[in-house]
Amino acid sequence: MDLLVSPSSAEEARYALSADIIDVKKPSEGSLGANFPWVISEIKNMSKKPVSAAIGDFGFLPGGASQAAFGAACAGADYIKVGLKFDGEEKAFDFIRDVTKAVKWRFPEKIVVAAAYADSGRVDSISPFDMAPIAAKAGADVAMIDTAVKDGKGLFDFLNKEELAKFTENNRKLGLKTALAGSLKFNDLTVLKKINPEIIGVRGMVCGGDRSAVIREELVQKAMAMVR
């Protein structure tokens, strides 16, 4: 299980370098808010670890999402992560297929992460359980669950251990890896290790509980020790 930590700047990324994956995003622009391409490039140049980049919480805008995905890949991201903030299985297939093509036609080695939300009912978006098989069919590499609304409620407020274990198991059968995130706390790590997704994503946890604060290096190291 790899720990993905999400700094919002190159300066903040220096405190996250002990994580397995450095994830570039802009928390002020949403759950999967996109940061600037030069920030992706700067963090890629400083990190020996894989770099992930969020490209946004998207409505059904496959053209815009595809441009953003290609831009993040060109800027150096190894993982390109997009949130589906809309409903409809046919739309989801078209969207993930187009985003995946935008990355893979030039960078076949790069990893596309399709994310849906544990609190999908609060934002009228597709369920993660409906999204994952569509992501596999559309050629993505990772199915992710995050939370769309950052109001203190976390992943386990919406989905329990059994549901998350089933999601992870089903993804492996589909040939997908699993990423789990959503206002996770240190107390959640014991349960997450039992579920054993390939990736867990954190920010608030390593900022002392406030995702708008600055990442603390000692908390990243604490999380890494607990994950291991």
81 flagged as catalytic: yes
Question: Is 25 a known active-site residue?
Answer: yes
Q: Among 184, 217, 165, which Cα is nearest to 7's?
A: 217
In terms of Cα–Cα distance, which of 14, 24, 21, 20 is closest to 72?
24
Tally of residues, the chain: 228
- Out of 25, 44, 104, 177, the active site residue is 25
Catalytic residue among 44, 49, 81, 85: 81
Active site residue ranges: 25, 81
